[in-house]
């Protein structure tokens, strides 16, 4: 059933802010300019700026999927998960998030810092921009959250309560179906270019289904840390010297490699796009981002390791093995996310905006990369980058 609550409209935003003193202190509502900018699949986003250049953003969860409309009801409780993630992640990694101004649980409205002086990383990559350091920032963000919200940073009994309090069945189901199942099982709602029919079918072998099954199993059973849960490059804002992860409505306790994998998958897509556009220099730079992200994650995680709460068996040797396993899993999860962007329900504009012919060439390169990542199982960021470089150069 669709939940009933009042939805915000641009004309009603000033009155809403006036009714909330914490927010009213941040902007002058008598000179407020409000624009609804939501470009995502799910929610309303209002950028609110006053005459003296101060601003804030309100994000309201709709009780249905925006991409489809009220005929697909969808729990607005995802806003609770997003608020929780901002609050918890903010304790350990505030510099990589928008400042969080509060949550209205009755109307599912989050208030946060206005980041319109940044731009969404996906768009920047699509346009061929370079943002050096953004990948490393995201690696450090994931490391901080991974360490401090999981078994290495939280006492065991306290952790059980955190895990139990952060479940999001409906949001997890979306990832389980769209990312970890349907690209490999086939599904009515999958779609892709006619030219990619063979490529799409080539993902539906028993070997690749079993590989997807292995990852889905890890996703559904390995509650390692409070993940962001949807950390693709469309959930990251960049500006010179600043990187912010937002839109954490898919946050839940899951495998850390999944957060590292979503940006990796986008680097593959960016390389494929750059290759068909002849943007060799940008493509070569994008190929370095796998290592930039991983190396920063690893360095940050190692720097936190001396604080491990139970060092009796979580020793140095364990850490080496855990890092190696996490890096392998990152490669495999990245493959599933890349596959769904070509043949699943929810594609991304990076490739969709290309002309049909180069779009098919790029899509095929991504699918070939996916298969090698899942069948050959490269172990390191450098190996993953090498596979992607080979496939986009064919
Ligand atoms: P959805 O969950 O529907 O995808 P997002 O949180 O991704 O919603 O927001 C959708 C879009 O709104 C973003 O891609 C971005 O363009 C804009 N946006 C979201 N949050 C902010 C913010 N804090 N500052 C500026 N723009 C934002
Ligand atoms: Mg989004
Ligand atoms: Mg978006
Ligand atoms: Mg979202």
**332 Cβ below 6 A of ligand 1:** no
Share of the chain above pLDDT 90, in %: 94
For ligand 1, whether the C-beta of 249 sits within 6 Å is yes
Q: Residue 190 pLDDT more than 80?
A: yes
Domain 10-112 CATH (choose: 3.40.50.970, 3.30.200.20, 3.40.50.300, 3.10.129.10): 3.30.200.20
* pLDDT at residue 11 tops 90: yes
- Return mean pLDDT, the chain: 96
The residue contributing the CA closest to ligand 1 atom 14 is 39
Return the biggest CA–CA distance within the chain. 62
Q: At 38, is the pLDDT very low, low, confident or very high (cuts 50, 70, 90)? A: confident
pTM listed for this prediction: 0.97
In angstroms, what is the span from residue 186 Cα to ligand 3's centroid? 26
Q: Do domains 10-112 and 119-392 have the same CATH topology?
A: no
Return the residue whose CA atom lies nearest to atom 1 of ligand 1. 40
Separation of CA 231 and ligand 4 centre (Å): 10
pLDDT band for position 3 (cuts 50, 70, 90): confident
| For ligand 1, mutation pick of 26, 34, 38 (most atoms within 8 Å of CB) | 38
Q: 280-287 long-range contacts, Cβ below 8 Å, gap at least 24?
A: 282/128, 282/130, 283/392, 285/130, 286/125, 287/385, 287/388, 287/389
Q: Which ligand is nearest to the CA of 246?
A: 1
Predicted pLDDT at 62: 92
Q: Atom 5 in ligand 1: which residue has the minimum CA distance?
A: 247
* Residue 49 CB less than 6 A away from ligand 1: no
For the segment 116-131, the average pLDDT, to the nearest whole number, is: 97
pLDDT per position as a tens digit, 162-180: 999 999 999 999 999 999 9
- Residues measured by CB to lie within 5 Å of ligand 4, the ion: 40, 247, 249
Q: Is residue 346 lining ligand 1, measured as CB closer than 6 Å?
A: no
* Domain residue limits, the chain: 10-112, 119-392
37 ligand 1 Cβ < 6 A: yes
ipTM of the complex, rounded to two decimals:
0.96
For the Cβ of 247 lying below 6 angstroms from any atom of ligand 1, the answer is: yes
Yes or no: say if 182 and 192 are a contact pair by the CB < 8 Å rule.
no
Q: Is residue 57 lining ligand 1, measured as CB closer than 6 Å? A: yes
Q: Is 123 in the pocket of ligand 1 (CB under 6 A)?
A: no
* Cβ 59 under 6 angstroms from ligand 1: yes
Residue 136, class by beta-carbon neighbours within 10 Å (0-12 exposed, 13-18 middle, 19+ buried)? buried
Confidence of residue 374 (pLDDT cuts 50, 70, 90): very high
> Which residues neighbour 190 within 8 Å (Cβ) at sequence distance 6 or greater?
182, 183, 200, 343, 344, 345
Domain 119-392, what fold? Aminoglycoside 3'-phosphotransferase; Chain: A, domain 2 (3.90.1200)
Cβ–ligand 1 contact at 47 (below 6 Å): yes
Centre of ligand 4 to C-alpha 324, Å, is 30
């Amino acid at each position: 059933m669709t939940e009933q609550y009042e939805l915000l409209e641009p004309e009603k935003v000033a009155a809403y802010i006036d009714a909330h003193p914490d927010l009213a202190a941040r902007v002058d509502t008598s000179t407020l300019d409000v624009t609804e900018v939501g470009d995502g699949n799910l929610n309303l986003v209002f950028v609110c700026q006053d005459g003296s250049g101060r601003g804030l953003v309100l994000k309201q969860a709709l009780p249905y999927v925006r991409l489809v409309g009220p005929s697909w009801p969808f729990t607005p409780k995802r806003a609770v998960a997003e608020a929780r993630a901002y609050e918890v992640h903010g304790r350990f990694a505030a510099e990589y998030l928008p400042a969080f101004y509060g949550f209205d649980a009755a109307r599912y409205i989050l208030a946060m810092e206005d980041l319109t002086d940044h731009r969404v990383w996906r768009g920047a990559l699509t346009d061929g921009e370079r943002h050096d350091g953004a990948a490393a920032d995201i690696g450090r963000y994931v490391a901080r959250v991974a360490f401090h919200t999981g078994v290495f940073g939280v006492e065991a009994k306290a952790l059980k309560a955190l895990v139990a309090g952060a479940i999001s069945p409906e949001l997890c189901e979306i990832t389980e179906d769209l990312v970890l199942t349907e690209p490999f099982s086939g599904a009515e709602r999958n779609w892709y270019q006619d030219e990619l029919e063979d490529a799409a079918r080539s993902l539906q072998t028993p070997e690749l289904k079993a590989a997807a099954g292995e990852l889905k199993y890890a996703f559904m059973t390995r509650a390692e840390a409070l993940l962001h849960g949807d950390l693709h490059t469309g959930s990251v804002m960049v500006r010179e010297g600043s990187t912010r992860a937002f839109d954490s409505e898919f946050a839940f306790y899951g495998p850390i490699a999944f957060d590292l994998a979503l940006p990796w998958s986008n680097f593959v897509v960016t390389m494929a796009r750059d290759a068909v556009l002849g943007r060799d220099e940008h493509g070569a730079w994008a190929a370095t981002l796998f290592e930039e992200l991983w190396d920063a994650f690893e360095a940050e995680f190692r720097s936190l390791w001396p604080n491990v709460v139970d060092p009796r068996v979580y020793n140095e040797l364990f850490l080496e093995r855990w890092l190696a396993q996490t890096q392998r899993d990152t490669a495999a999860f990245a493959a599933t996310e890349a596959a769904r962007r070509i043949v699943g329900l929810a594609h991304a504009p990076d490739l969709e905006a290309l002309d049909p012919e180069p779009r098919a060439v790029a899509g095929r390169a991504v699918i070939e990369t996916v298969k090698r990542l899942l069948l050959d199982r490269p172990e390191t960021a450098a190996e993953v980058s090498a596979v992607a470089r080979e496939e986009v150069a064919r």
